[in-house]
Chain A
Amino acid sequence: MSAPLLSVEDLHVAFDGGGGRTTQAVSGVSFAVEGGRTLGIVGESGCGKSVTSLAVMRLLPRDTARVSGRVIFEGRDLLALPERAMRDLRGNRLAMIFQEPMTSLNPSYTVGDQVGEALVRHRGLSAREVRNAAIDLLSKVRIPSPETRVDEYPHKLSGGMRQRVMIAMALACRPALLVADEPTTALDVTIQAQMLELLRQLQVETGTAIVLITHDLGVVAETCDEVAVMYAGQIVERAPVAELFSRPQHPYTVGLIGSLPRLGERRERLAAIRGSVPVLSGRTIGCRFAPRCPFAQAACTATSPDLVDQGGGHLSRCLRAPLERLVA
Chain B
Amino acid sequence: MSLPLLQVENLSRHFVVRRSLLGTPLSTVKAVDGVSFEIGEGETLALVGESGCGKSTVGRLVLRLIEPTDGRVLFEGRDLAGLDAGALQAFRARAQLIFQDPYASLNPRMTVGSTLTEPLLLHTDLSAADRRGRIGELLETVGLRRDHGDRYPHEFSGGQRQRIAIARALAVEPKLIVCDEPVSALDVSIRSQVLNLLKDLQQRMGLSYLFVSHDLAVVKHIADRVAVMYLGRIVETAAADDLFREPRHPYAEALLSAIPVPQPGARGRRRLLAGDPPSPIAPPPGCHLHPRCPHAAAPCSTQVPRLVSDPAGHATACHLWQEIPRVGATAREDALPAHLTRLIGAFETTDS
Residues of A bordering B, CB below 8 Å: 44-45, 144, 158-161, 188-194, 196-197, 215-222, 241-242, 245-248, 251, 254-277, 294-295, 323-324, 326-328
The chain A residue with its CB closest to the CB of B259 is A189
Give the interface size class of chain B. Answer: 35 or more
Decide if B282 is an interface residue (CB 8 Å cutoff): no
Q: Is B343's CB under 8 angstroms from A254's CB?
A: yes
Q: Is A259's CB under 8 angstroms from B261's CB?
A: no
Which residues does chain A contribute within 8 Å of B270, judged by CB atoms? 193, 197
Q: Is B336's CB under 8 angstroms from A257's CB?
A: yes
Q: Mark B265-302, 1 if CB is under 8 A from A, else 0.
A: 11100101101110000000000000000000000000
Q: Is A257's CB under 8 angstroms from B352's CB?
A: no
Q: Is B272's CB under 8 angstroms from A197's CB?
A: yes
Q: Is A260's CB under 8 angstroms from B331's CB?
A: no
Q: Mark B139-178, 1 if CB is under 8 A from A, else 0.
A: 0000000000000000001111000000000000000000
Decide if B86 is an interface residue (CB 8 Å cutoff): no
Query: How distant is the Cα of A216 from the Cα of B215 in the complex, in angstroms?
Result: 12
Q: Is B264's CB under 8 angstroms from A242's CB?
A: yes
Q: In the complex, which of the residues B190, B255, B336 contacts A276, with contact meaning CB atoms closer than 8 Å?
A: B190
Which residues does chain B contribute within 8 Å of A324, judged by CB atoms? 339
- Additional pairs, 15, CB under 8 Å, beyond known A222-B267, A263-B217: A44-B190, A188-B277, A190-B273, A221-B263, A222-B264, A241-B264, A255-B347, A261-B217, A261-B220, A262-B333, A268-B199, A270-B195, A272-B352, A294-B347, A327-B346
Q: Is B187's CB under 8 angstroms from A218's CB?
A: no
Q: Is A248's CB under 8 angstroms from B347's CB?
A: no
Complex interface residues of chain B between 166 and 211 (CB less than 8 A to chain A): 187-193, 195-196, 199
Q: Is B264's CB under 8 angstroms from A194's CB?
A: no
Q: List 6 A-B contacts (CB under 8 A).
A: A255-B189, A260-B262, A261-B220, A263-B259, A273-B192, A294-B347
Q: Is B344's CB under 8 angstroms from A257's CB?
A: yes
Query: How distant is the Cα of A310 from the Cα of B35 in the complex, in angstroms?
Result: 55
Query: How distant is the Cα of A218 from the Cα of B273 in the complex, in angstroms?
Result: 20
Q: Is B255's CB under 8 angstroms from A218's CB?
A: no
Tell me, rounded to whole Å, the shortest Cβ–Cβ distance linking A134 to chain B.
20
Tell me, rounded to whole Å, the shortest Cβ–Cβ distance linking B250 to chain A.
12
Q: Is A221's CB under 8 angstroms from B346's CB?
A: no
Decide if B216 is an interface residue (CB 8 Å cutoff): yes
Which residues does chain B contribute within 8 Å of A254, judged by CB atoms? 340, 343-344, 347
Q: Is A190's CB under 8 angstroms from B348's CB?
A: no
Take A190-B272, A255-B347 as given contacts and tell me if A265 and B335 are in contact as well, using a CB distance cutoff of 8 Å: yes
Query: How distant is the Cα of A184 from the Cα of B333 in the complex, in angstroms?
Result: 22
Decide if B334 is an interface residue (CB 8 Å cutoff): yes
Take A194-B272, A222-B267 as given contacts and tell me if A323 and B343 are in contact as well, using a CB distance cutoff of 8 Å: yes
The chain B residue with its CB closest to the CB of A45 is B187
Query: How distant is the Cα of A95 from the Cα of B316 in the complex, in angstroms?
Result: 45
Query: How distant is the Cα of A185 from the Cα of B174 in the complex, in angstroms?
Result: 34
Query: How distant is the Cα of A189 from the Cα of B157 in the complex, in angstroms?
Result: 27
The chain A residue with its CB closest to the CB of B279 is A158
Q: Is A221's CB under 8 angstroms from B348's CB?
A: no
Q: Is B262's CB under 8 angstroms from A258's CB?
A: no
Q: Is A190's CB under 8 angstroms from B192's CB?
A: no
Which residues does chain B contribute within 8 Å of A295, judged by CB atoms? 346
Which residues does chain A contribute within 8 Å of B329, judged by CB atoms? 263
Query: How distant is the Cα of A258 from the Cα of B188 in the complex, in angstroms?
Result: 10
Q: Is A269's CB under 8 angstroms from B346's CB?
A: no
Take A271-B347, A272-B352, A273-B189 as given contacts and tell me if A262 and B262 are in contact as well, using a CB distance cutoff of 8 Å: yes
